[in-house]
Amino acid sequence: MRKTSSRIFTIIVVLGFLASWYWVEWSPVSSRALALCNGGYGTFDMKMYDAQIVQSVLSIMNPEGFAITFRYYIGDFTLILFFGLLQCLISKGVYSSLCARNLTLRVLYISSITVPIIRGLADIVENSILLRAAIIFPQVNGTEITIASMATKVKFALIFLWVILVLVGFLLRFCFRKKRISDKAA
């Protein structure tokens, strides 16, 4: 029963991730659709930006672009959740057989779970501020945009760190498997 529940949860997470990714990348309210309304810029959350860029992009955006922006963020907040869950499932799959070996491996496992959570929080801060900027436009709070921009940079750095942690986990699994095979042969 537990294995079935785990599989169902994994399927829900994968389908949720794919659906929300479709929403933000290819749907009628995606970043591509938004780019048609703001001179080709698209969304801020995948680029480096500052208050001047935000002001300039929002100033050329048509009313349809603002409507798309608000619906885009529904999908993007959903993507934050499902991407984080997917990252945690991958980390668990990579490290679950390793973490009983020693403290260092447990720390790597906990880190590979913690990093996506912090990434999600940075992404929520980023999205919240950028959504607020669209709501209060034509006013743009430079300090808030600077915070959002820093959150964007943190988000990308944490995604990179998570990938490194997962690759280390795969490498360690490979090394322990090789050692187990050589121990059996001896």
SS (H, E, C) 71-111: HHHHHHHHHHHHHHHHHHHHHHHHHCCCCCCCHHHHHHHHH
Report how far apart, in Å, the C-alpha atoms of 95 and of each of 59, 112, 180 are: 48, 9, 17
Per-residue pLDDT of the chain in tens (186 residues, 90 and over written 9) = 678 889 999 999 999 999 999 999 999 999 999 999 999 999 998 899 999 999 999 999 999 999 999 999 999 999 999 999 999 999 999 998 877 668 888 899 999 999 999 999 999 999 999 999 999 999 999 999 999 999 999 999 999 999 999 999 999 988 877 666 666 655
Residue 1 is predicted with a pLDDT of 62
Cβ(157)–Cβ(61) below 8 Å = no
Give the total residue count for the chain.
Answer: 186
- Cα–Cα dist 113/119, whole Å: 10
Pick from 63, 81, 64, 62: nearest CA to 23: 81
Cβ(59)–Cβ(138) below 8 Å = yes
The pair phi, psi for residue 70, each rounded to 5°, is -65, -40
Domain boundaries of the chain, sorted by first residue = 2-185
Provide the 3-class DSSP secondary structure of residue 37: coil
Residue 104 is predicted with a pLDDT of 84
- What is the 8-class DSSP label of residue 36? T
The reported pTM is 0.90
- Cα–Cα dist 120/122, whole Å: 5
Burial class, 92, CB count within 10 angstroms (exposed 0-12 / middle 13-18 / buried 19+):
middle
Tokens of 156: 């990308």
- Cα–Cα dist 170/177, whole Å: 10
